[in-house]
């Protein structure tokens, strides 16, 4: 293995579900309404015309998506959902995971290249930090492609200049891991930084099994 491509949300950050739960609680959202629309708009059987797919590829702006999503959501007390800044509120609690960034530092220290391959939901990425650590940085909304389609993995490989079987892709969404494997990359389903580090240590003998990152 010569390189690792990381997803961002839920892999290099603390769990996205925690931020979503905090938003639902603060806005009084009925979780069932969000789960229903998320399932419909993320359906693998749907074409790329769903609002999520269009948002991920840059075909729909965050304010346009906010309006569409707000119209589909219901609140526990029957109030309408305010569309303004909806995505910002959903991801307001998403924070970088210190253990994941410590893993990046340790991979770089033993000569493994690291990059980012992320489906964007209008997120604000810590660009100064990730641009300094990760190369390439492939974000769906910037390149007009999205996971799990083959084309975005092929673009990342082209920018790495490496064959697929020498690259490991890490994501917390199984369809994306399967998409990477379909193109020939190695794929690892992420659950937390500790288990991901242990899996990588089995592939990279010089990688420390533990990190000094704060909990």
CB 116, CB 132: distance < 8 Å: no
Domains of the chain: which residue ranges? 3-14+95-203, 16-90
Three-state secondary structure call for residue 6: strand
Note down pLDDT in tens along the chain; length 215 residues: 999 999 999 999 999 999 999 999 999 999 999 999 999 998 766 566 899 999 999 999 999 999 999 999 999 999 999 999 999 999 999 999 999 999 999 999 999 999 999 999 987 899 999 999 999 999 999 999 999 999 999 999 999 999 999 999 999 999 999 999 999 999 999 999 999 999 999 999 899 988 754 44
Output the pTM of the full model. Answer: 0.92
Distance CA 159, CA 114 (A): 12
Q: What is the DSSP letter of 75?
A: B
**Domain 3-14+95-203's class?**
alpha beta
């Amino acid at each position: 293995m010569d390189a690792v491509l990381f997803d961002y949300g839920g892999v290099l950050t603390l769990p996205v579900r925690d931020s979503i739960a905090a938003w639902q609680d603060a806005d009084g959202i009925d979780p069932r309404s969000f789960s229903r629309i998320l399932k419909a708009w993320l359906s693998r059987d749907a074409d790329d015309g769903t609002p999520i797919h269009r948002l991920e590829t840059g075909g729909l702006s965050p304010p346009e998506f906010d309006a569409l999503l707000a119209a589909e959501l219901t609140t526990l007390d029957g109030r309408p959902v305010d569309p303004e800044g909806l995505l910002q509120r959903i991801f307001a609690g998403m924070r970088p995971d210190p253990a994941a960034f410590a893993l990046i530092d340790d991979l770089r220290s033993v000569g493994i290249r690291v990059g980012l391959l992320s489906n964007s939901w209008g997120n604000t990425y810590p660009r100064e930090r990730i641009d300094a650590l990760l190369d390439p940085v492939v974000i769906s909304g910037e390149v007009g492609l999205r996971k799990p389609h083959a084309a975005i993995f092929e673009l990342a490989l082209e920018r790495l200049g490496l064959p697929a079987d020498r690259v490991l892709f890490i994501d917390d969404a199984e369809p994306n891991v399967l998409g990477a494997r379909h193109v020939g990359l190695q794929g690892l389903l992420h659950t937390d930084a500790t288990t991901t580090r242990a899996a990588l240590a089995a592939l990279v003998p010089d990688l420390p099994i533990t990190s000094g990152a704060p909990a």
